[in-house]
Amino acid sequence: MILLFALIGRLVQIQLVSSESFTKHHINLIQSSVNQRTQVLSIDSGRGKFYDRNGEPLGHEEVPALVLFPFLKGMDWPSKKVAQAAGISESDLLSAVNKAQKPFAYGGKTPLYLTDTQMDEINSLKIPGVFAISQSVAKKMPAEQLIGTLTKWESRKKQLYPRQNLSPEAHVGNTGLQAAFDEFLLSEGESKLVFHVDGIGGPLFGVDVKYVEPANPLYPVRVITTLDKELQAAAEDLTDKLQIHNGGLLLLNIETSEIRALVSRPAIHKKNPNIGSENNMFSQAKLGSVFKTVIAAAAIDYQLVKPGQVFDCNVTINGAIDEKRRLGTLDFEESFAQSCNRTFGDLAIQLTQINPDILENYARKLNIIGPSGWQGQVFHSEIKQLFNEEQGKVWDQNTDKKDKRLAAHTGIGQQDVQVTPLAAANMMATIARGGESRMVKAVSKVTFKNGSTVVEFPNKKLDSDSISPYTAMKLQTMLRKVVIEEKGTGRVFQGLPYEVAGKSGTAQTGKMKDGKELYNKWFAGYFPYKNPRYALVAVNLEVPEDSGGINPLFHKMVMEVYRHDQNKND
């Protein structure tokens, strides 16, 4: 009797109590029993998908495919008619079916693309186990660190959705936009073709193949990103061709403050997505002389530079003769164009003596510290579009801001200064807009499957104070002189079809490799100068001083943007 009651108890547990979450592995027994007696072809996982700003799919493709079930090998079916309609060899068709152990799309990794006419003709034959359908096929994801990664880890699922009993096969967002928009993207159920079979895999005749899709026809949703698929492809191709192994680029549309292209290297490792998943465009790094833009803005507002004042640029910020770069005697704007360290070290000392917090205040006004990404309330939840965006810094917590030596090194973007490429691009966009600070967007809206809008993300201003239009105008002139001056550090960009304004930066990292000191190399700018449309930052991290220049990447990307715009206008 004890044994009988124990068996009854076990049966109750299996059939009633734990049928959807059996043992510590949370096995869904109902789903497992269905899997045991069916042949299934997944058409779509049901998870929301990403598209570029023009509605082009990112990371997937809708393929009109010929789907075949393996039980056809034991049937007499009009294979000749199917082959003729699909435009393929009957022998190849029969061979593929005979080799099949489960439902499949004909052609494998290179699926057969059917026309609408071919699909209609095949489906009109009404053959059990033969279908012409549109199937979602995964492709290499562009901007992979921005879009992010998925995981099936149970611990992650329980952390995010403790009250939902998600399938062991269900994916949830782990990084990037996949994580930031996970609640929108979560699958409402996959679309699939299901056919019931007997114990040895034969068809149960009288039971048709069923098309199963989510109960809610509005799903899966579509996340419309701000990326331009063509510009993104060009950016990735250039970054890899120029062998940027640690760094990348970020292209912003200035008017809308939207990301048009983003490349982060190293790429995500195929077998271990945790390797390379960090987005270097959202991670802080030593900035170097690009930070002189902040010093220049503060010096303009506080009128530190008198008319006709010049600086001795033959010496370093410590007062020693500069053996590497003797620039002579330069005025304020020439010092900026040629990136004279002594000038901006001296100005930083003067500013910190006036107020120790001035450098931080102006860094915040120019958006290079603090958050840059879009955030706000959506359906009573706080949405932050840019996953794990770091916020940069000017000083470490315990640094003496009035120490003249430390202030001088801070003024040239060394010491404690750390900034993300995203923030540097946002600074250039702010200057180009005349001082107006805006949040950066990676997603413009989320729509239902039928195209109706779930939520739209408007352009938003940042809460921080901004520089004045006058200061922005002065900075615009100085950034342009970096390029047009005969000895400017950006003179290599003079011949481009779009006039460029910007600032170079080379920062010591304090790291060594093969006996050589490693540097971060930057160029941050915007273009066209007279009618600004794009802000662009290119960065190569931790490379030797005599190699790994970043100017070719910036130069070639401007050319790609110009060609893209010309083609669009044509």
Catalytic residues: 289
Closest by Cα among 20, 107, 24, 35 to 67: 107
Between CA 360 and CA 420 the distance in angstroms is 15
SS3 46: coil
Burial 114-124 (b: 16+ CB within 10 A, else e): beeebbebbee
Do the bridges between strand 49-51 and strand 222-225 make them parallel or antiparallel, or are there none, so unpaired? parallel
DSSP for 332-374, written as a single string: HHHHHHHT-HHHHHHHHHHHHHH-TTHHHHHHHHTTSSS--B-
**C-alpha R_g of the chain:** 30
Contact 27, 120 (CB under 8 A): no
Determine how many CB atoms are found less than 10 A away from the CB of residue 477: 12
Determine how many CB atoms are found less than 10 A away from the CB of residue 71: 23
* Apex 183 CA angle, 182 and 186, nearest 5: 75
The H or E element containing residue 151 is strand 150-151
Phi and psi at residue 64, in whole multiples of 5°? Answer: -75, 105
Contact 539, 550 (CB under 8 A): yes
Which pair of structure tokens corresponds to residue 146?
Answer: 């921005």
The residue count for the chain: 570
Phi and psi at residue 469, in whole multiples of 5°? Answer: -60, -35
Phi and psi at residue 118, in whole multiples of 5°? Answer: -65, -40
Which pair of structure tokens corresponds to residue 561?
Answer: 């943007």
Between CA 86 and CA 66 the distance in angstroms is 8
Phi and psi at residue 493, in whole multiples of 5°? Answer: -95, 10
